[in-house]
Amino acid sequence: MARRELQAAPRRRLLLTGTIAVGVAALVAINSFTRNLEESVSRQARSLLGADLSIAGRQSFSPRVEALLDSLPRNSVTARITSFSAMAYVPRTAGTRLVQVAAVVGRFPFYGEIRTRPLRAWAQLQEGHNIIVDPALLTALAAQLGDTIALGEARFVITGTIESAPSDVGFRFAFGPRVYLPARYLEETRLLGFGARVQYEAFVKLPAGTSAQSVAERYRRLLAPERLRVRTVAEDQRNLNDVLTRLTGYLGLVALIALLLGGVGVASAAVVLVRQRMETIAVLRCLGATGAEVLAVYLIEAVGMATAGSLIGALLGIAVQQALPQVLHGFLPVDVVPSFSAGAAALGIGTGMWIGFIFAAIPIFRVRLIPPLAALRRPYESERGGRDLWLVLPFLALAGSTVALAQVQVGSWRRGAVFAGAIGLALIILWGFSWALVRLVRRWLPERWAYVWRQGLANLYRPANQTVTLVLSIGFGAFLLGTLYLVQHNLLRQLRLTGGPARPNLVLFDIQPDQLGAVLEQLEASGLPRTAVTPIVPMRIASVKGRPVSQLLADRSRAESEPSNAWAFRREYRSTYRDSIVGSERIVQGRWWEKGGQSSGQISVEQDLARELGLKLGDEIVWDVQGVSVPSRVVSIREVDWARFEPNFFVVFSPGTLEDAPRSYVTLTRIDNAAKRGSFQRSLAERFPNVSTLDLSLLQETLERLVDRVSLAIRFMALFSLLVGALVLIGALATSRFQRIREGALLRTMGATRRQILQIVLAEYLSLGVLAALVATLLAVLAAWAVAHFLFDSAYELPVLALLGLAALVVTLTVLVGFANSRDVVRRAPLEVLREQ
Amino acid sequence: MPDAILQSQSLGRTYRSAGRDLTVLKDISFRVEPGEFLAILGPSGSGKTTLLGLLAGLDRPTTGTVHLDGQDLSRLDEDQRARVRSEKVGFVFQAFQLIPTLTAQENVQVPLELQGEPKARAVARELLARVGLVGREHHYPAQLSGGEQQRVAVARGFSSRPKLLFADEPTGNLDAATGATIIDLMVGLNRDLGTTMVLVTHDLDLAGRARRTIRLADGSIVGDTAA
């Protein structure tokens, strides 16, 4: 029975199958592209750490730790780096400099690369007493390749300079120029004696498919008593992580929206199908079929078409995904490798079938209500029928599915429910407005208006009108697209804020108070911009809330809580003081001190640090500033955007507290040309040997590439969903096509001109489009605000012009498709159409 | 004789179907004078409806010309022909062809509205009263019986006071008694308003009501008799 039904009316079915196919194609393409992109972005991110995870501590690893390292998942690879500060001395030039030594065992890095000049220097590092140095060190020591460097009691030959190396996002002022040497000669230096501040770090590359996060969780517990810190790319690169989370969240949302758009298309195609089959169904019922049997016939048909559509869509999606990187090759600074993702395909087919089925079921459930009498007499009211509790079923299923899908895509049940609720609310509001429009036009349609306008507008409330269907589908589509656009706009805006060409790329630090004037003069003489000069005072925590650090640490090790806390208590803080807040900071608790007020002894603490130290507003901390006790009170807690290339601080003091403490200064400048950057660094080093410079340009380039990728992906996805939206709109409007052609032919027969017919169409679709676009835009503004505020935690800005443009686009598209629908009326001879009846 | 209301000259229509040319009409020539009541009689498939379509300018002939009230339809484009229809032609179809989403009165109003007639409403009411549908003005076609729907269609056909009314099997979907009243209605209107009528049918009895009959067979005229 269902099979025979399937064989009739191929054109309508093509629409239905096609719409599912497009939706599924979008889902599969977006999901696989997202996976590819995530992989490529996380590859990029891993190359910043150089490994999947690292385990670091202040003592050399105990036998227990070594045993634990041996128990890492099979096929894991490890490398070790021991790092510490030491004085480097070049006998030939007699230059000395504090450097950061990294002693390497193993083939580090596993991701990304250390580029050296000459190229082979890194590969040959382990072959002898070789050392590879930061080019800034050569400048500072007036040394050259081949010179001998003394580190402690060992001698090394400079065999190369570092071009780029994995490094941390953000920078630490404590670092001097880096040098790399083979770890087996570490003993010879005799620098690792008692009291040396050494960091022992093991870098681990896990076998493919192992989650660094879950390994890290497991080992973090085991290594806690050993006071070791376990870092993964995801958690260590906090800023990168933020960007990534937002990107994945956003792409998940896009895929879901594409699928729902596809669902709307399916629903409208199913409406056409049912409307076309009214008589067939009525005849079937006349012949004795029960409502349930008729329902079964069409549900089986819907399942068949949803399956076909999903399979076609999956193939299409894979094709699109494979073609994407090729198509975008010129744009992508990326190596997104299109790998077939069976998971994404299966998910796409599964959800496509389910969504197609559910959406089709909504109109199809009504076939039960078609009375046998309809075979004899067409019902004059649209097939609304009575209230039917059974109709609640597909809607409940739809609501449940939306929550479940949102959970899969966005990753939390609560968010899934909120998402589905928001969609439901949007639909109800759209329905309400279309209902109001129908009422309004029916009550208030001026007699004086030209016939074509009255006729077009009256079509909005006439029997079998499509006002609600169209406002719902067009409005819903426009709402989703508008939301997407707004979220995209705000995400991109935030990325631009983080990046941007005006960022400083050279840090000048360790400037002594008596050198400050001269250094600033040299910057000015070279015509270079600079950021505000920031004072830096090194200090340690002496006591928190009246309890000395030693006592706090003893408590903590007994409780075996996280060892990273211990570091927070023990570390050296490089704090600053100022009277105002800077752009990368935001107060989350308490208040900033008043400018010029009596505020000495107040501090503002970064929120994560406050959490680690267990600090609340009003808590007392006593600092040890090079032997002097400085008491302070927490008056505010700040959120800090560490991704900004500005000197940021865990602890900021109010003015009037640290002015007499020993301090150094830091400032940042920007020099675009690499050669000029080098010569400036050299000339600075000649005049002020103790002033260190740190070149951030490589790090920035890496980040910029990343931001570029993310922006491009976001734009591309928005474009893709716009395409799906347009297709769905065409599908939705096709619901009325057949009826329109007949009406148009009749009007033509009675002497209506082409112009008159087009005006009628214009009046109807213009009012539908304007209503749908307006309501949808308002809803999108609200929804995007909510998404930005609650989901992405980002600032919100309204691009009014672009938004109006989108609304105009929706209206234009609606009217154009309306015209296209009536194309046959105008083109074909009226007789031809009338004869088809 | 320039005062013919309708004149067909060597009219022919060929359709291409499945790669073959199918000639439906060939060499049809005749004149219709103002006020005439003409029946075009022929069995199914003789080309009646095609001829009606050509005469009313709903389709274009392959050969020959149609002059309607002195205007050569083949020289007009679709919109100009629509204007001619709007001003001079009315229709009644076998399947009624009412617009299902408009009420009876709105259906009758359409041709008047298309002409921009300001009193469309009153005229439509009057015509509906004349075809005996007082009180049914606001019913939709689906709420009316076949006979009532055809009355609405007749009222609509005459609403713009056309010079020429084409009727295509107007009683084909109705029982004999109802069909007879519809024809009486049309004959009455033809007489009262002086409208020229062209009736297409396969029904001999119905054709007998006309004053002149043209017989059509296999796309050609095989007889032209005045009653």
Task: Read off the pLDDT of each residue in A434-449 and give the average, rounded to a whole number.
Answer: 81
With b meaning 16 or more CB within 10 Å and e meaning fewer, what string describes B69-83? Answer: beeebbeeebbebbe
Q: How far is A750 from chain B (nearest CA, A)?
A: 6
* Cβ of residue B3 closer than 8 Å to a chain A Cβ: no
Q: Which residues contact A527 (CB under 8 A, 6 or more apart)?
A: none
Residue B100 CA: distances (Å) to CA of A95, A380, B96: 98, 8, 10
If we measure between CA atoms, which residue out of A650, A648, A647 comes closest to residue A632?
Answer: A650
With b meaning 16 or more CB within 10 Å and e meaning fewer, what string describes B151-183? Answer: bbbbbbbbbbbbbbbbbbbbbbbbeeebbebbb
Please provide the average confidence, as pLDDT, over all residues in chain A. 77
Q: Among partner residues A459, A746, A752, which is closest to B97 by beta-carbon distance?
A: A746
Within chain B, residue ranges assigned H as helices are 48-55, 78-88, 104-115, 120-130, 146-159, 176-193, 204-207
Q: What is the secondary structure of A185-225 as a DSSP string?
A: GHHHHT--STT--EEEEEEEEPPTT--HHHHHHHHHHHHGG
Percent of chain A whose predicted confidence (pLDDT) is above 70: 73
* Cβ of residue A743 closer than 8 Å to a chain B Cβ: yes
Strands A602-606 and A628-640, how do they pair? parallel
- Would residue A254 be called left, alpha or beta, if left means φ above 0 and alpha means ψ between -120 and 50 degrees? alpha
pLDDT of A149 above 90: yes
For A630-648, the pLDDT digits (tens) are 999 999 999 887 656 677 8
* Contact criterion met (CB below 8 Å) for A671 and A208: no
For A580-591, the pLDDT digits (tens) are 888 778 888 888
Task: Read off the pLDDT of each residue in A447-459 and give the average, rounded to a whole number.
Answer: 79
Q: What pLDDT does residue B40 have?
A: 92
* Cβ of residue A278 closer than 8 Å to a chain B Cβ: no
Tokens of B83: 């204007």
- Is B58 close to A455, i.e. CB distance below 8 A? no
* Cβ of residue B111 closer than 8 Å to a chain A Cβ: yes
Lowest model confidence (mean pLDDT) among A273-287, A293-307, A532-546, B77-91: A273-287
Interfacial A residues in 360-389 facing B (CB < 8 Å):
377-380
Q: State the pLDDT confidence band at A157, using cuts at 50, 70 and 90.
A: very high
Identify the bridge partners of residue A606 per DSSP, sorted by sequence position. Answer: A638
If we measure between CA atoms, which residue out of A418, A383, A385, A420 comes closest to residue A400?
Answer: A420
- Look up the ipTM and state it: 0.78
Cα–Cα distance, A474 to A729 (Å, whole number): 6
Sign for the pseudo-dihedral over CA of A658, A659, A665, A667: positive
Q: What pLDDT does residue B208 have?
A: 86
Residue at A696: amino acid letter? L
Q: What is the secondary structure of A387-402 as a DSSP string?
A: --GGGHHHHHHHHHHH
Identify the bridge partners of residue A623 per DSSP, sorted by sequence position. Answer: A541, A630
Residues of A in contact with B49 (CB under 8 A): 831, 835
* Residue A594: DSSP 8-state: P
Q: Which residues contact A292 (CB under 8 A, 6 or more apart)?
A: A368
Q: Among partner residues A465, A743, A832, which is closest to B99 by beta-carbon distance?
A: A743
pLDDT of A792 above 80: no
Interfacial A residues in 166-205 facing B (CB < 8 Å):
none
Q: How far is B142 from chain A (nearest CA, A)?
A: 5
Cα–Cα distance, A347 to A32 (Å, whole number): 10
Q: What pLDDT does residue A459 have?
A: 79
Task: Read off the pLDDT of each residue in A485-513 and give the average, rounded to a whole number.
Answer: 73
* Cβ of residue B142 closer than 8 Å to a chain A Cβ: yes
Q: How far is A472 from chain B (nearest CA, A)?
A: 21
Q: What is the secondary structure of A369-385 as a DSSP string?
A: G--GGGGTS--SS-TT-
Task: Read off the pLDDT of each residue in A28-36 and give the average, rounded to a whole number.
Answer: 72
For A8-24, the pLDDT digits (tens) are 555 556 666 776 777 77
Task: Read off the pLDDT of each residue in B137-161 and give the average, rounded to a whole number.
Answer: 88
Task: Read off the pLDDT of each residue in A816-830 and give the average, rounded to a whole number.
Answer: 74
Identify the bridge partners of residue A602 per DSSP, sorted by sequence position. Answer: A633
pLDDT of A515 above 60: yes
* Cβ of residue B87 closer than 8 Å to a chain A Cβ: yes
Cα–Cα distance, A257 to A480 (Å, whole number): 7
Task: Read off the pLDDT of each residue in A322-328 and give the average, rounded to a whole number.
Answer: 65
Lowest model confidence (mean pLDDT) among A54-68, A189-203, B149-163: A189-203
pLDDT of B129 above 60: yes
Q: What pLDDT does residue A158 have?
A: 94
Q: State the pLDDT confidence band at A272, using cuts at 50, 70 and 90.
A: low
Lowest model confidence (mean pLDDT) among A547-556, A702-711, B209-218: A702-711
* Contact criterion met (CB below 8 Å) for A78 and A204: yes
Residue at B189: amino acid letter? L
Question: Which chain B residue's Cα is nearest to A757?
Answer: B114
Strands B71-72 and B63-68, how do they pair? antiparallel
Q: How far is A769 from chain B (nearest CA, A)?
A: 21
- Is B102 close to A752, i.e. CB distance below 8 A? no
- Is A464 close to B97, i.e. CB distance below 8 A? no
Q: What pLDDT does residue A558 have?
A: 56
If we measure between CA atoms, which residue out of A354, A345, A351, A350 comes closest to residue A319?
Answer: A345
* Contact criterion met (CB below 8 Å) for A556 and A570: no
* Cβ of residue A449 closer than 8 Å to a chain B Cβ: no
* Cβ of residue B57 closer than 8 Å to a chain A Cβ: no
Q: How far is A278 from chain B (nearest CA, A)?
A: 15
Residue of B73, B114, B154 for testing the chain A interface, max A β-carbons within 10 Å? B114
Q: What is the secondary structure of A42-103 as a DSSP string?
A: HHHHHHHHTSSEEEEESSPPPHHHHHHHHTSPTT-EEEEEEEEEEEEEETTTTEEEEEEEEE
pLDDT of A728 above 90: no
pLDDT of A480 above 90: no
Tokens of A819: 């015209």
Greater confidence, B66 or A288? Answer: B66
Q: How many CA atoms lie within 13 A of A346 on its CB side?
A: 3
* Contact criterion met (CB below 8 Å) for B157 and B197: no
Q: How far is B22 from chain A (nearest CA, A)?
A: 16
Percent of chain A whose predicted confidence (pLDDT) is above 90: 6
Task: Read off the pLDDT of each residue in A711-740 and give the average, rounded to a whole number.
Answer: 65
Q: Among partner residues A747, A829, A831, which is closest to B110 by beta-carbon distance?
A: A747
If we measure between CA atoms, which residue out of A814, A788, A791 comes closest to residue A799?
Answer: A788
Cα–Cα distance, B127 to B116 (Å, whole number): 18
Q: Among partner residues B79, B110, B142, which is closest to A750 by beta-carbon distance?
A: B110
Cα–Cα distance, A130 to A124 (Å, whole number): 8
pLDDT of A621 above 90: yes
Q: Which residues contact A277 (CB under 8 A, 6 or more apart)?
A: A5, A9, A298, A367
Judged by DSSP in three states, B152 sits in helix
Q: How far is B227 from chain A (nearest CA, A)?
A: 30
Residues of A in contact with B142 (CB under 8 A): 377-380, 463
* pTM attached to this predicted model: 0.62
Task: Read off the pLDDT of each residue in A378-393 and give the average, rounded to a whole number.
Answer: 55
Q: Among partner residues B59, B102, B114, which is closest to A752 by beta-carbon distance?
A: B114
| First CA to last CA distance, chain B | 22
Q: How many CA atoms lie within 13 A of A320 on its CB side?
A: 24
Q: Which residues contact A739 (CB under 8 A, 6 or more apart)?
A: A464, B101
Q: Scanning the structure block, which residue is given the tokens 């649209």?
A: A382
Please report, for chain B, how many H helices and E strands are present, in that order: 7, 10
Greater confidence, B172 or A653? Answer: A653
Lowest model confidence (mean pLDDT) among A57-66, A720-729, A828-837, B93-102: A828-837
Interfacial B residues in 166-205 facing A (CB < 8 Å):
none
Judged by DSSP in three states, B6 sits in strand
Q: What pLDDT does residue A373 have?
A: 62
* Cβ of residue B96 closer than 8 Å to a chain A Cβ: no
- Is A753 close to B79, i.e. CB distance below 8 A? yes
Q: Among partner residues A463, A749, A829, which is closest to B101 by beta-carbon distance?
A: A463
Judged by DSSP in three states, A614 sits in coil
Tokens of A531: 């950021």
Greater confidence, A601 or A268? Answer: A601
If we measure between CA atoms, which residue out of A729, A728, A668, A400 comes closest to residue A533?
Answer: A668
Q: What pLDDT does residue A325 have?
A: 63
Size of interface A-B (CB pairs under 8 A): 86
Q: How far is B204 from chain A (nearest CA, A)?
A: 23
| Top-confidence range, A225-234, B14-23, B66-75, B114-123 | B66-75
| Top-confidence range, A358-367, A452-461, A683-692, B206-215 | B206-215
Greater confidence, B211 or B18? Answer: B211
Question: Which chain A residue's Cα is nearest to B50?
Answer: A831
Task: Read off the pLDDT of each residue in A128-142 and give the average, rounded to a whole number.
Answer: 84
If we measure between CA atoms, which residue out of B211, B215, B208, B217 comes closest to residue B196?
Answer: B211
Lowest model confidence (mean pLDDT) among A321-330, B89-98, B136-145: A321-330
| First CA to last CA distance, chain A | 26
φ/ψ of A31, rounded to 5, equals -65, -40
Lowest model confidence (mean pLDDT) among A247-256, A472-481, A684-693: A247-256
Cα–Cα distance, A419 to A405 (Å, whole number): 10
Cα–Cα distance, A74 to A530 (Å, whole number): 51
For B151-177, the pLDDT digits (tens) are 899 889 888 888 999 988 888 888 888
